[in-house]
Amino acid sequence: MSRRRYVARGVPGGYRVWDNKARRWWGDLYQLCPDDLLTELNGEANPDKITALLKRYRALKR
């Protein structure tokens, strides 16, 4: 199993996505762990699916 580029890390208030290659945070702060988003980012990386997942997780924050 190869090393994953994007991983979720727990931070105060929820989760953030860490980019191991760029060594910086990616995206927003999420209340729930964005498992579907991480799977897509580390796998196929289809931009349409990523956009839909980002919209879904942003809607959960409200």
Domain tally for the chain? 1
pLDDT score, position 1: 55
In this predicted model, what pLDDT tens digit does every residue of 46-57 receive, in sequence order? 999 999 999 998
**Residue 3 confidence class, pLDDT cut points 50, 70, 90:** confident
Is a pLDDT exceeding 60 seen at residue 9? yes
Domain that holds residue 45: 6-61
- Low-confidence winner among 2-6, 8-12, 41-45, 47-51 (lowest mean pLDDT): 2-6
Residue 56 makes CB contacts below 8 A (sequence gap 6+) with none
- Hey, how many other C-beta atoms are within 10 angstroms of the C-beta on 30? 20
Q: Please list the residues that pair with 9 across neighbouring strands.
A: 16
E-assigned strand segments in 1-62 = 6-11, 14-19, 24-30
Is a pLDDT exceeding 70 seen at residue 29? yes
Residue 24 lies in a domain: yes
Q: Which helix (H) or strand (E) holds 28?
A: strand 24-30
Residue 1 lies in a domain: no
Q: d(Cα 35, Cα 60) in Å, to the nearest integer?
A: 14
